[in-house]
Structure 1
Amino acid sequence: MTTQSTPSETPKGAWKITFLLFLFMLVNFADKIVVGLGGAPIMDELKLQPEQFGLLGSSFFFLFSISAIVVGFIVNRVATRWVLLAMALIWSLAQFPMVGTVSFTTLLICRIILGAGEGPAFSVAAHAIYKWFPDEKRTLPTAILSQGSAFGVILAVPALNWIIVNHSWHYAFGALGVVGLMWTLAWLVMGKEGPLVQTAAMAAADPAIPYGRLLTSRTFLGCCAATFGAYWALSLGLTWFTPFIVKGLGFSQQDAGWISVLPWVFGATIVLLTGWISQVMMARGYTTRGARGVLGSAPLIVGGLILAVLPHVAPGALMIALLVVGSGLCGSIYVVCPPMLGEFTPVQQRGAVIAIYGAIYTLAGMIAPSVMGSVIQHAATPLDGYMTGFTINAVVLVASGLLGLLLLWPNTERARLAAGEETAQAKFA
Structure 2
Amino acid sequence: MSATPSHEQTPPKIRRAQIVALTLLMVSGIVNYLDRGTLAVANPLIRQDMGLSLGQMGLLLSAFSWSYALFQLPVGGLVDRIGPRRLLGIGLILWSLAQAAGGFVSTFGWFILARILLGIGEAPQFPSAARVVSNWFPLRERGKPTGIFNSASPLGTALAPLCLSVLVVNLNWRWAFIVTGIAGLIVAVVWLAVYRDPVKATLSDAERRYLEGHEADTKPAHAVTFADWRSLFSHGTTWGMLIGFFGSVYLNWVYLTWLPGYLTMERHMTLMHTGIAASVPFFCGFLGALTAGWFSDLITSRSASPVASRRNAVVITMLGMVAFTIPAALVQSNTLAIVCISVVIFLANAASACSWALATAAAPPNRVGSLGAIQNFGGFLGGALAPILTGYIAQSWSFVPALLTAAGVAFVGAMSYLLLVRKPIVDETASNEAMQAPA
Equivalent residue runs for 1:169-184 within 5 Å: 169-184=173-188
The one-character-per-residue Cα deviations of 1:59-84 (angstroms, maximum 9, x if unpaired) are 11222122221222222221321111
Query: C-alpha distance in 1, partners of 2:101/2:353?
Result: 34
Contact kept in structure 1, 2:235 and 2:425, CA below 8 Å? no
Residue 158 of structure 2 is aligned to residue 145 of structure 1: no
- Partners of 2:157 and 2:256 within 8 A in 1: no
Contact 2:79–2:370 (CA under 8 A) maintained in structure 1: yes
| RMSD between aligned residues | 2.6
Q: CA deviation at 1:99?
A: 2.8
Distance 1:136 1:262, change over 3 A: same
Which of residues 354, 361, 377 is equivalent to 1:359? Answer: 377
Measure how far apart 1:101 and its partner are: 5.8
Q: Does 1:347 align with 2:380?
A: no
Q: Deviations over 1:34-56 (max 9, x none)?
A: 11111111111111111000000
Among candidates 106, 120, 126, match of residue 116 of structure 1: 120
Q: Is the 8 A contact 2:282 2:345 kept in 1?
A: no
Aligned residue among 38, 41, 44 for 2:45: 41
Which residue of structure 1 aligns with residue 280 of structure 2? 262
User: 1:203 Cα deviation (Å)?
Assistant: 5.2
Deviation sequence 1:195-248 (CA, Å, 0-9, x none): 432646x659x9998545422322222222222112112221222100011111
Q: Distance in 1 between matches of 2:291 and 2:169?
A: 34
The answer to whether structure 1 residue 197 and structure 2 residue 201 are counterparts is no
Match of 1:19 in 2: 23
Equivalent residue of 2:191, what SS? helix
Q: TM-score, normalised by structure 2?
A: 0.86
Could you tell me which of 291, 296, 306 is aligned with 1:288?
306
Q: Which residue of 2 aligns with 1:413?
A: 424
TM (normalized to structure 1)?
0.88
C-alpha distance in 1 between matches for 2:267 and 2:31: 29
1:328 match: 346
Aligned partner letter, 1:351: G
153-162 vs 361-370, which moves further: 153-162
SS of alignment partner, residue 102 of structure 1: coil
Letter in 2 for 1:394: A
1:271 lines up with 2:275 in the alignment: no
Shift of 1:273: 1.2
Q: Is the 8 A contact 2:72 2:374 kept in 1?
A: yes
Question: Match of 2:250?
Answer: 232
Which residue of the partner structure matches residue 83 of structure 1? 87
**Offset at residue 269 of structure 1 (A):** 1.5
Select the residue among 408, 413, 418 that pairs with 1:395. 408
Query: Could you tell me which residue of structure 2 aligns to residue 3 of structure 1?
Result: none
CA distance in structure 2 between the aligned counterparts of 1:337 and 1:299, rounded to whole angstroms: 11
CA distance in 2, matches of 1:198, 1:101: 45
- Which of 315, 318, 337 matches 2:336? 318
In the TM superposition, residue 336 of structure 1 has moved relative to its aligned partner by 2.1
Pairwise CA distance, 1:301: 1.2
Point out where structure 1 has 5 or more consecutive residues left out of the alignment: 1-5, 380-384
Distance in structure 1 (CA, Å) of the matches to 2:362 and 2:253? 29
Q: What is the aligned counterpart of 1:164 among 161, 165, 168?
A: 168
Structure 2 counterpart of 1:382: none
1: distance between equivalents of 2:53 and 2:227?
Answer: 48
Instruction: Report how many aligned residue pairs link the two structures.
Output: 407
Contact 2:242 / 2:375 at 8 angstroms: preserved in 1?
yes
Say whether 1:32 aligns with 2:42: no
2:245 partner letter: T
Structure 1 residues 217, 198: closer, same or farther in 2, change over 3 A? farther
Please identify, of 224-233 and 31-40, the stretch whose mean Cα deviation from structure 2 is larger. 224-233
**What SS class does the counterpart of residue 65 from structure 2 fall into?**
coil
Could you tell me how far 1:291 is from its partner in structure 2? 2.8
Deviation at 1:257, TM superposition (A): 0.6
Q: Which runs of 5+ in 2 are unaligned?
A: 200-215
SS at the partner of 2:21? helix
Secondary structure of residue in 2 paired with 1:413? coil
CA contact (8 A) 1:226 1:333 kept: no
Letter in 2 for 1:367: L
Counting aligned pairs with the same residue, the percent is 23
> Which residue identity does 1:174 align to in structure 2?
I
C-alpha change, 1:312 and 1:237, in structure 2 (3 Å) is: closer
CA contact (8 A) 1:222 1:408 kept: yes
